Amino acid sequence: MPAALATPAERIVAFRAPPPRVRHAHVIKDDAEAIAVARRLADRIAETAIERDRERRLPFEELDWLSDAGLLAITVPKAYGGAEVSSGTLAEVIAILSEADGSIGQIPQNHFFILHALRLEGSEEQRRFFYGRILSGERIGNALSEIGTKTAQDHNTRLTKDGPVLRLNGRKFYCTGALFAHWVAVVANDDEGRSTISFVPRETPGLTVIDDWSGFGQRVTASGTTTLDNVEVHPFAVISLRAVFDRPTSMGPVAQIMHAAVEAGIARAALKETVHYVRNHARPWKDSGLDHGYEDPYTIAQIGEVKIRVSASDALLERAGRIADIAVADPTIETVAAASIAVAEAKVASTEASLHAGSKLIELAGSRATQAQYGLDRFWRNARTHTVHDPVRWKYRAIGDYWLNGINPPRHGAI
């Protein structure tokens, strides 16, 4: 990328970063602690999940919980003071949070996506600066996708040179987490048409985050609009996005395993609620001659089926994490392809498990489960909203082509 000044040290000095976050953040040391912290926070998050969804109460406080506990810094490499957790642990943390609240589980996904891009393409100076900010509890929101382009991967937003600085102009949507962020990661094409990521402080003049997300599910992700009007960007705050897909890297598998984890967590939650409501509220059908709904053999069999689907989803997610870590450690054409396929298999399973579990919850729990006071429709709504992120029908094709014809999947982060 273009540089305004000659040396890395001079570039850092010239980079006008905002003051660091004042609140102290705990630093998680390893995978086991990351899982334990996620479970502890998930218990708190779940307590108000129904009200948050019903009232569309945005989770500013809950995101601070995640920051303060150090959970948003768990992928920072050990060399920079972080835990550098495995892909499987990252996925499990996302799943645990998503089981408590699907929206809150989704919000950190792009934060971790950008951190992985920084790991792959950032300079030593960039890594030290931004990893330090993340360890202090700062958050990254995204301004990646746009509405109105030919595909979701095309971008009209431009990053153009203006003397010693760069300028961003464009309009983004699906900006999950930007409203809660300290930094907004903006994807734009530069003067040579290369895809880039710019780290823009949330309060930069010309950057406006609009709370206009109206999805019927994942209601409190605040995945609305971000506008960029001649936003100043220093070259120090820019990395290449194109480069992480031009060569074999773990970018795609790591990005997608988190999406699979969101749905796996929603599926777990829906199954748990189904068991609870059938045990406590479901009535037997009059022709059964039974005293309790939970004695119905047809209900028992269907809950068994849902449990198998959820368990299969969890098993494929765990397997995908192990295979993704091979690609992280040794990124080759073969290891990255294998990881992408393993993650795609997990994503297919979690998609189907979450939709099925969310629907069966309402069916098996009975008419009472449709009452708004229980908020049980949120699991299906959240799953249906999130599962359209990357079409499963194309994952089926990629998986089949890989196993039948030996054809590797494309490297673009959405398989």
Strand partners, 165: 162
Determine the Cα–Cα distance for residues 348 and 343; give it in Å rounded to an integer.
Answer: 9
Task: Please report the pLDDT score of residue 22 as a whole number.
Answer: 78
- Tokens representing residue 229 in the block: 């009007």
Which of these, 207, 143, 199, lies nearest to 175 by C-alpha position? 143
Task: Please report the pLDDT score of residue 21 as a whole number.
Answer: 87
- Tokens representing residue 216 in the block: 């019927």
Which of these, 84, 105, 395, lies nearest to 253 by C-alpha position? 395
Task: Please report the pLDDT score of residue 14 as a whole number.
Answer: 63
Task: Please report the pLDDT score of residue 12 as a whole number.
Answer: 53
Our separate counts of H helices and E strands in the chain read: 14, 8
Q: What is the pTM of this model?
A: 0.95
Determine the Cα–Cα distance for residues 114 and 137; give it in Å rounded to an integer.
Answer: 15
Task: Please report the pLDDT score of residue 23 as a whole number.
Answer: 81
pLDDT, tens digit (0-9, with 9 covering 90-100), for 55-101 = 999 999 999 999 999 999 999 999 999 999 999 999 999 999 999 99
Ranges of residues in the chain whose predicted pLDDT is under 70: 1-14
Which of these, 273, 237, 242, lies nearest to 102 by C-alpha position? 273
- Concatenating the DSSP letter of every residue in 236-270 gives GGEEESTHHHHS--SHHHHHHHHHHHHHHHHHHHH
